[in-house]
Amino acid sequence: MRVSGSIAVPACRVGKDRKRAYVRVGTGIAAAALLAACSGHPAPVVSSASASPSASASPTPSVPVWPLTGLPAATGVALRPALAFKVDNVWGALPQQGVNSADLVFEEPVEGGLTRLVAVFQSQSPGRVAPIRSARPVDAQILRLFGPSILMFSGASVHEIRPVKALSNSLLLSMDSGAPLFARDHNRPGVHDVYASTVEAWKYALAHGASPVPPRAPWLFAPTQSLLALPMNVADMQFGAAHAVWTYNPTTLRYDRAQNGSPDRDTTGKALWADTVLVLNVPTYIVPGLRDVLGNPTPDARITGTGTVWLLRDGTLIKGTWSRPSLDASLTFTAADGSSLGVKPGRTWIELLPRGLTPKFR
């Protein structure tokens, strides 16, 4: 069966100049080569016809939808770009704050078999997000899925931030570079205490050059799962030191997350959840010369090319292929019979599982 959807769209500066609070970056052949080596006030709205340009001849939806969730936007889509926060995800950083209001959350591999989150906001503005940590090279590839965006992070080494500056085409806001948006919560331990507000971040970014344009949709949304999907309630994946489990809840009709053997809850005590879980097997490479304080090498995941995807929604699972031919393309998902696979409208978690690691399902 070929599944059609409602949307099909392509998809800190650190160092000596510490006074500059943001960096506007672009794209180009040289940048591609480098990779190979909002506010509290009422937001303007826009109809779906202008919110996210389509890559196909698909008809324009009659009802405006949020570009990152595919859900109806009753009062129109806010004229603000995607706002991404780097969120710490190790034991000392828990519980996290604000993550359950993100439209999308990416879990990316970092040093020592641990993971870090990229929480992406556009349809909701929860206020405080915590704890914020440093950027990694893969963040550029994530940001390019949405068009010009904003990245909030605590800092990064010159080598880690170089590809993000060169390739993300986004406004980069860093605590280390002096952006007046970050503060410390002294009730949190050590390096896990940095936070910032979505309200203030959008307000500051739009006043400092961010484009007041809604993001592009990163993939196709579809109201139903493929008929090829099989009933499956649990997805279990081991990154190394990090272990994530998603379990379908038939009462709430969504997936609840556990991490390292315990329910993964936010500061309100609620489970972290998603309507769709995408597990992408992605190639990873060691970045030469980059290591953490313990000597662990820095991995760089690639979200271009093609690979295996496992799509979980509505208590079912289907295995397929993900594809993204270039940084400016959307992610597409295809079943074994060649039919398109669509993401369920709602909140999506994307697990960037290094190639060679295989999730378990039951």
Low-confidence stretches of the chain (pLDDT beneath 50): 1-58
pLDDT in tens, 55-67: 344 455 578 999 9
> Is residue 191 located within the same domain as residue 149?
yes
The pLDDT assigned to 62 comes to 76
The pLDDT assigned to 60 comes to 53
Bridge partner list, 120: 84, 104
The pLDDT assigned to 311 comes to 98
Number of domains in the chain: 2
Closest to 357 (Cα-Cα) out of 292, 289, 270, 299: 299
Q: Residue 131: inside a domain, yes or no?
A: yes
> Is residue 197 located within the same domain as residue 234?
no
- Degrees, nearest 5: CA angle 165-288-135: 35
CATH code where residue 337 lies: 3.50.90.10
Among the three residues 207, 242, 277, which one is the final residue of a domain in this structure?
Answer: 207
What's the alpha-carbon Rg for the chain, to the nearest Å? 19
Q: Residue 10: inside a domain, yes or no?
A: no
> Is residue 190 located within the same domain as residue 281?
no
The pLDDT assigned to 61 comes to 52
Domain that holds residue 103: 22-207
DSSP string, 227-289: TT-EE--EEEEE-SS-EEEEEEETTTTEEEEEETTEE-BBTTSPBPEESEEEEEEE-EEEEEE
> Is residue 201 located within the same domain as residue 169?
yes
pTM of the full predicted structure?
0.84
What is the sign of the dihedral through the CA atoms of 328, 311, 358 and 245?
Answer: positive
Q: Residue 133: inside a domain, yes or no?
A: yes
Cβ-proximal residues to 29 (8 Å cutoff; 6+ apart), any chain:
none
Closest to 232 (Cα-Cα) out of 55, 109, 361: 361
pLDDT in tens, 75-102: 999 999 999 999 999 999 999 999 999 9
> Is residue 282 located within the same domain as residue 190?
no
Q: Residue 12: inside a domain, yes or no?
A: no
